[in-house]
Structure 1
């Protein structure tokens, strides 16, 4: 069984994330969406809330499992049989950051491959940071986050 992991803070999950999950799920038998706490960010939603949002917004993808974890991604991946990490890219700046992370992952765990999926042009401008800012000031989120996330 080919198991992939799509890790992120997903605070909140956006339509861009959903696009990556849908497309990434076609590359593996099982896709683990792994929510983690990013110590450099102050979250809008708790880990539990983010898990719930992801469970609701990905229920249409048959081979997805939503989990939260702490610790090193490579250790979590190996412990759960994952050999592929799926990362979404919006822009060149994302690539530079993710490329360095992928090289580091390859160094510490050679059995794991990182796969980059370019976001759909419909979502290339969307970031969780931008969504949090819009939400804090009462901005419209139409088409940028799933309806269930917008309600919360």
Structure 2
């Protein structure tokens, strides 16, 4: 049976830390689906369509990585995609506390799903989408934190 993992997130934006988790996840899974989910608690900074294209371009040399968007519970999307694993990255203990609760709920919704946590590589741990958005909003170049260039991207107001 193919080991398919869904790597869910709002990815606003998708960072080198996210890229690292996906590439390392290829050692564990046959296929990884990067799922850009709609988070009702967040207003997007970068358009979903633009971020999906940037992620697809980042992994264009990896046929075992695909990208989808969804507006549903992550566990429901995993079931729909045939993914038995959720891949998540952890930068610190705060991430663990948050992700642990979510993993329990996902398991309640879809009992066959397992969440697999990978610890973020140390040199990428300080990177967060929130910090990158803030730096970008105030005109700082953030390209060193991203696997693509933001220079041509427009933000959603």
- In the superposition, the TM-score normalised over structure 1's length comes to 0.94
Correspondence 1:47 to 2:48: yes
Pairing of 1:1-152 with structure 2 (within 5 A): 1-149=2-150, 151-152=152-153
Structure 2, unaligned runs of 5 or more: none
In the TM superposition, structure 1's runs of 4+ consecutive aligned residues that sit over 3 Å from their partners are: none
Count of aligned positions: 152
- In the superposition, the TM-score normalised over structure 2's length comes to 0.91
What CA distance in whole angstroms lies between the structure 1 residues aligned with 2:147 and 2:45?
16
What CA distance in whole angstroms lies between the structure 2 residues aligned with 1:149 and 1:4?
27
RMSD over aligned CA atoms reads: 1.3
Structure 1, unaligned runs of 5 or more: none
Asked if the contact 1:3/1:30 (under 8 Å) is kept, the reply is yes
